[in-house]
Amino acid sequence: MLLIQNNADALNLKHAIKNVCVEIVLQQIFILKQTINDLQLAANNESKSTAGDKHDTSKAILQQQVAMHHQQLIVAQNQSKQAEALPVAINDLPTLGSLIYANEQCFYIGMGIGKKTINNTEIILLAPTAPLAQFFIGLKNKTEGVFNSKTYTIKQCW
């Protein structure tokens, strides 16, 4: 059920969506930092009392895991900056930060998180590079188009 009655409702919902996006990324960053710290502690505590090759292999695996999680942390930190920068202004045309009501469903173009219920409204959060988001960006308010053999009609865009 769509609970957006006017632009003020849409603006409030867009602020709430942005906050959810930021919070999700901050949680990922926290977990990644904690994981990196735990892996570094494990690598430092790796006992040299085991056979030399086994010790070196274990330490190398832990270092690889630290490097992998560090790369994920860099991606998450970039996503955090992107989430903080999501626009909340009302848009008549689908673009980054747009909230779109089409086919009895709400879509938000900003971050690819999937389906979430925010302020009692079910919303599909799409990355701006997602094919469906790109399709919406090519349409105008109150128009329709076909994507993957399905017709979408944009009833409202904020």
Would you state the pLDDT for residue 38? 93
Q: With a cut of 90, say whether residue 56 has pLDDT above it.
A: no
Residue 8: band (very low, low, confident or very high) from pLDDT cuts 50, 70, 90:
very high
What's the whole-model pTM score? 0.84
Would you state the pLDDT for residue 48? 57
Residues 6+ apart with CB under 8 A from 158: 4, 7, 10, 11, 14, 90, 91, 98, 99, 100
Indicate the average pLDDT of the chain. Answer: 91
pLDDT, tens only, 89-147: 998 899 999 999 999 999 999 999 999 999 999 999 999 999 999 999 989 888 999 99
pLDDT, tens only, 84-95: 999 999 988 999
Residues 6+ apart with CB under 8 A from 96: 86, 87, 109, 110, 128
